[in-house]
Structure 1
Amino acid sequence: MKRLYKITLLFGITILVSSCHNNAAPNYQYFPNMYESVGYETYAESNAFKDGKEGQLPAEGTVNRGFEPFEYENSTAGYELAKANLKSPLDSLSRDPEKGKELFEIYCATCHGNTGNGKGKLVEREKFLGVPSYKDRVITEGSIFHVVTYGLNSMGSHANQLSAQERWVVADYVLKLKSEL
């Protein structure tokens, strides 16, 4: 008899629990947009921003996080000024030839070659032509830093891949390669 009561009680609880759930009308959701987000058409106009603009501009005078302003402009005149005036802020302890070699081999050697002779893999395969040897160029640490920051001719900027300190380390290593050619 006890067993029949237990089975009946268990059956009753099961029916009670399952009868409260209705798939057609789910329970109240907190923050329903998180569960069922509104779909927007790609590149369509939206009223999410002021004045119907495509996006919002940063506040006047702000600087991106991690961005270090560079006082020389991206022009031939800026290059010449950097070449003449810009000096490395690295002291003797911050100069790391091993790190410079590692970064050079990652970012520069594919075009400039491991020794800076202008015969990297991409030049050998004729993907880029006219990559100069460091031996033939009049370069300073300031001009190297400027070129790595902004790029020059067919070489693109590496400012997004390398921090300012890493660019100075690479410039130091390039001068070391130039002295060895």
Structure 2
Amino acid sequence: MKSLIKIAGLFVLVVSVSSCKNDLKPNYQYMPNMYESVAYETYAESDAFNSPTGLKGKEGQIPAEGSIKRGFEPYEYPNTTAGYDAAKANLKSPLDSTGVDAKKAEELYTIYCSICHGEAGDGKGKLVKQEKFLGVPAYKDRPVTEGSIYHVITYGLNSMGSHANQLSSKERWMVTSHVLKLRNQ
């Protein structure tokens, strides 16, 4: 009797499992696009990203108006001669003497600046000696201030490019303090 109950139970289990699957009449799919996604031809034009704004689907890539990225500190001086003069006259370092890591500042200067400006800030770096760049000034020959150095590191000047992407605001201020130290030696 027990074996008959086991066989009947097994039969009911097989029938119930096999009745759920029918290839001729597939079951209802709750999210069919996840199972059978629309096939797009690679590099073909598609209407999927057309929008009434005319941005062709790029509105998801554009940041919200007025937003700034995390960790970004706005710099209010423009990249103009007037902005340089204003920064030279008014801009002061927010770091105090304890906020500047002299060893780290020297390392950053060596990595980013000494190739042109030289280890001593004399304008005789490796690229200048090889005559790749000419006219790199020595710091002692120029009337520079904290603000002017920071502004030039941020935006670049003449042949020097901007280092704002490589150095954070704090690191630029540390390099500024090291340049002033080299200037005063």
TM-score (norm 2): 0.73
> What SS class does the counterpart of residue 31 from structure 1 fall into?
helix
User: Where does structure 1 lack aligned partners over 5 or more consecutive residues?
Assistant: 1-27
Residue 67 (structure 1) aligned with residue 72 (structure 2)? yes
Task: Please give the residue correspondences for 1:1-181 in structure 2 after superposition, counting only pairs within 5 Å.
Answer: 31=34, 38=40, 40-41=42-43, 47-48=48-49, 50=51, 51-53=53-55, 55-56=58-59, 57-180=62-185
Aligned residues of 1:87 and 1:141 also touching (Cα < 8 A): yes
TM-score (norm 1): 0.74
Q: Which residue of 2 aligns with 1:17?
A: none
For 1:139 and 1:97, locate their aligned partners in 2 and report how far apart those are by CA, in whole Å: 20
Larger Rg: 2
Aligned length: 151
Give the AA of the match of 1:158: H
Deviation at 1:59, TM superposition (A): 1.6
For 1:69 and 1:110, locate their aligned partners in 2 and report how far apart those are by CA, in whole Å: 28
> What SS class does the counterpart of residue 117 from structure 1 fall into?
coil
Deviation at 1:40, TM superposition (A): 4.0
Give the AA of the match of 1:139: V
C-alpha change, 1:147 and 1:40, in structure 2 (3 Å) is: farther
Q: Percent identity at matched positions? A: 57
Deviation at 1:48, TM superposition (A): 1.8
Between stretches 48-57 and 161-170, larger displacement belongs to 48-57
For 2:172 and 2:162, locate their aligned partners in 1 and report how far apart those are by CA, in whole Å: 11
Q: Which runs of 4+ in 1 moved over 6 A?
A: none
User: Where does structure 2 lack aligned partners over 5 or more consecutive residues?
Assistant: 1-28
Give the AA of the match of 1:169: M
For 2:150 and 2:94, locate their aligned partners in 1 and report how far apart those are by CA, in whole Å: 11
